[in-house]
Amino acid sequence: MPNTTWPSIHAKVIRLTKLDGCGQPIRGTGTKSQLVTNGIVKVGLTAEYEDGEDTAKKNGNGDLCLVHKDNDQLKYMSPEIEFCGVDPEAWAMITGQGIVTDGNANAVGLVFGSDPIEANFALELWTDVPGAACGSGFQTFGYWLLPFIGSGKLNDVELSVSAAEFTLAAQTKPGASWGVGPYNVVRDETDAVSPLLSPLTGKHHILFQTTTVAPPAPTNGAVELPAAPVGP
């Protein structure tokens, strides 16, 4: 099979999907489980590995008689999202903290407490692929997916004469139940929009690939997740 190399620029939009404790997308009337926003500055991704056990033994003469190192393993990914400003519903989806509303029930802020962080979410991000040919008449994008994330926390916030920086950090978790996902994000062999062509397993922490399905349009805050696949 041919190998496709691709560059990536711009963080166009992210989509957050609220998950239950088993890593499954939460559906149902009034659940407001998905949110798409272009109000981001950047998303950083750090891979955290567990080093394999390193064993070395010497004989009585001081020479190495046994050398062995177990394989390293990916423990989790640590995404860090810098937002352009405070996005109450997006931040609540990431951190599980309470939303503050005004007299007209508009989400205007958050309140952070000391309860354990129980919120789970999935993160998708689309980037541009400069110089890519429009195969079959469709533009190519980079598609990035972290299917099961928890421990969403607010990083340091500095308020001064300069623009404030708003950054949230989290960690991926094993045991994702994303499968092929609830959205149409790729095209199949007939160029029809489709969910992922191969399901993710509980061991997968991140997926990234090219796609010719355009990123979703920003939503007006969090919205309901329908039962049928969504998109493009």
Model pLDDT for residues 108-154, shown as the tens digit of each residue: 999 999 999 999 999 999 999 998 888 678 999 999 999 999 999 99
Percentage above 70 pLDDT, the chain: 98
Q: In angstroms, rounded to a whole number, what is the distance separating the alpha carbons of residues 201 and 167? A: 29
Q: Which residues contact 13 (CB under 8 A, 6 or more apart)?
A: 36, 37, 38, 40, 125, 126, 215, 216, 218
Tell whether the model's pLDDT for residue 44 goes beyond 70: yes
Q: How far apart are the first and last CA of the chain?
A: 27
pLDDT at 216 over 70: yes
**Percentage of the residues of the chain whose pLDDT score is greater than 90:** 86
| pLDDT at residue 156 tops 90 | no
Instruction: Say how many C-beta atoms besides its own lie within 10 A of residue 52's C-beta.
Output: 12
- Per-residue pLDDT band for 68 (boundaries 50, 70, 90) equals very high
Q: Has residue 1 got a pLDDT over 80?
A: no
- As to burial, measured by CB atoms within 10 angstroms (0-12 exposed, 13-18 middle, 19+ buried), residue 161 is exposed
Phi/psi of residue 48, each to 5°?
-110, 125
Confidence of residue 160 (pLDDT cuts 50, 70, 90): confident
3-state helix, strand, coil in the chain (%, to 5): 5, 45, 50
Q: Are strands 186-187 and 141-154 parallel, antiparallel or unpaired?
A: unpaired
Cα angle 218, 223, 226 (rounded to 5 degrees) comes to 110
Task: Yes or no: say if 109 and 97 are a contact pair by the CB < 8 Å rule.
Answer: no
| pLDDT of 230 higher than 90 | no
pTM, full prediction: 0.92
Rounded average pLDDT over 181-201:
96
- For residues 166 and 157, is the Cβ–Cβ distance under 8 A? yes
Report the DSSP beta bridge partners of residue 9: 128
pLDDT of residue 232 exceeding 70, the answer is no
Mean pLDDT of the chain: 94
| Other Cβ atoms closer than 10 A to 211 | 21
Half-sphere CA count of 57, side-chain side, radius 13 A: 5
What is residue 231's predicted lDDT score, i.e. its pLDDT? 67
The average pLDDT across 35-59 equals 95
